[in-house]
Amino acid sequence: MRVFIGPLEVAGIATGLARGLHAHGHEADLVFAYSHRFAYGGARDHGGVAGWWARAGRWRQALSRSQPLRKAFAFGLQQLLGWAVLAWAARRYDAFVFLYGETITNTALELRLLRWLGRRTVVVFVGSDSRPPYVDGGWFPADRPFDARAAARAACRQRAKVQRLERGASVCVNAPATGHFHARPFVHWLALGIPREALAAPPAPMPRPALRGLHSPSHPVLKGTARIRAAVQALRERGVAVELDTVEGRPNAEVLAALADCDLVLDQLYSDTPMAAFATEGASLGRAVLVGGYAARAIAAEAARHGLPLPPTVFVEPEAFEAELARLVADAEARRRVGADSRAFVAAHWTPQAVAGRLLRMIEGTVPEAWWVEPGEVAYLQGCGLPQGVARERVRALVERCGACALQLDDKPALRDAFLAFAHGETAA
């Protein structure tokens, strides 16, 4: 079987899936419309229309917003080339895996054509490509004024995109914490996972006078970097020997080198998943990972309900982050145990071959019943990248300015009412 994976890389997921499919004896090609700033590798120049499509994408990326006409021309050129790439790919590949809510042409017609041709398509959502923008610190960062009308328009577009993709795809993969806009069942994100090789003999942390924590934010405001730094500084002021190494905007190879030389991984403060990409990289090296997020309240019960293993990171609510950090800094045995458990989890469940094996079940149409999530199950309210108080204020501002319909949840009255109660600090009946 030949599998198309694209049209862009997300945290090394595409590269890992291709490696895993190769291990199962299938041909899998990475066909990207853009280059990745963190240089995960794995892609090659396919030449022909795919090569021209990628070059148009790189040109589009390189153009600044101060060149709107050139940027618009590059966009139009890439869209036009996209149809030629679709025609090439439809002849060449038996199945398609699309990441981050994007396809080759980003049109409904594309998925209908692939289905008509008998091609299986799996759409993998990874967070901000499906999460409601009004509770997403990536869309509307916490340090900037909130534009309720812009958020209403963004939510409308987001819902339309999610439902366009789920109507055309064979399978959609998403997390319940970001699946608010689905109208059809989707496969639980933990049933797929992030493909990553775990080292058989992870490097031991170097002896040093102060414990070294590592934080590598792709978006510092979204990841809560200021509060993570403040938590480390608070421990230092209490006489605790700890330091924080922050790596930003560097190639993935440099991040991996820093992970091998740290004692503890501090992922993010407002996550809606227990083990995102950076946390997975740390776990694969046997490092204990501390993650903050409001989704910690219900994630274990949710995973158990679907019969899925839960990544064993230390996942706590943001208010408990500093206390948990202090505990891990003081307890070397706890760090060793969490690191070992996390590496064992990656080695057992999230290797490229294991993840690709589950992907193949989706491609082949043999998804276990337990993996499916009904849209009505979605109940998470706090979003990602925002303190709960900020998320609450933004939902309230959106509803007051644009009405409850701006939530784009009228098809899910219980979830809509839960958001309305959340906005006013109440609990929905």
Give, in degrees to the nearest 5, the angle at Cα 269 between 267 and 271: 80
- List strand residue ranges (DSSP E) for 158-301, in order: 171-174, 186-188, 211-215, 242-246, 264-266, 288-292
Report the alpha-carbon distance of residue 134 to residue 405 in Å, rounded: 13
Report the alpha-carbon distance of residue 35 to residue 376 in Å, rounded: 37
Give the rounded distance of the alpha carbon of 75 from its chain centre.
25
pLDDT at 241: 94
Which domains are delineated in the chain? Answer: 2-191 (no CATH), 211-349 (3.40.50.2000)
Q: What are the two backbone dihedrals, phi and then psi, of residue 264, each rounded to the nearest 5 degrees?
A: -155, 135
Give the CA dihedral 77, 159, 390, 273, nearest 10 degrees.
Answer: -90
pLDDT at 44: 66
Distance set, CA 150 to CA 41, 153, 172 (Å): 35, 5, 27
Query: Parallel, antiparallel, or unpaired for β 186-188 and 372-373?
Result: antiparallel
pLDDT at 200: 73
At 285 the three-state DSSP class reads: coil
pLDDT at 36: 60
Tell me: cis bond preceding 7? Omega within 30 of 0 counts: yes
Distance set, CA 299 to CA 13, 55, 151, 179, 310 (Å): 22, 41, 27, 14, 8
Report the alpha-carbon distance of residue 333 to residue 427 in Å, rounded: 39
pLDDT at 236: 95
pLDDT at 58: 85
CB atoms within 10 A of CB 89: 23
168 in Cβ contact with 115 (< 8 Å):
yes
The residues near 353 (Cβ < 8 Å, ≥ 6 apart) are: 20, 23, 24
Tell me the angle at which helices 352-364 and 13-23 cross, rounded to the nearest 10 degrees: 80
pTM: 0.93
Ramachandran region of residue 69, left (φ > 0), alpha (ψ -120 to 50) or beta? alpha
- 69: its two tokens: 């006409």
190 in Cβ contact with 425 (< 8 Å):
no
Q: What is the mean pLDDT of each run of 10 residues along the chain (429 residues)?
A: 95 94 97 70 73 87 84 89 96 97 95 97 96 96 94 98 97 97 98 91 78 93 94 96 92 89 96 95 96 94 94 97 96 96 96 98 97 96 96 97 98 97 74
Give, in degrees to the nearest 5, the angle at Cα 320 between 315 and 326: 95
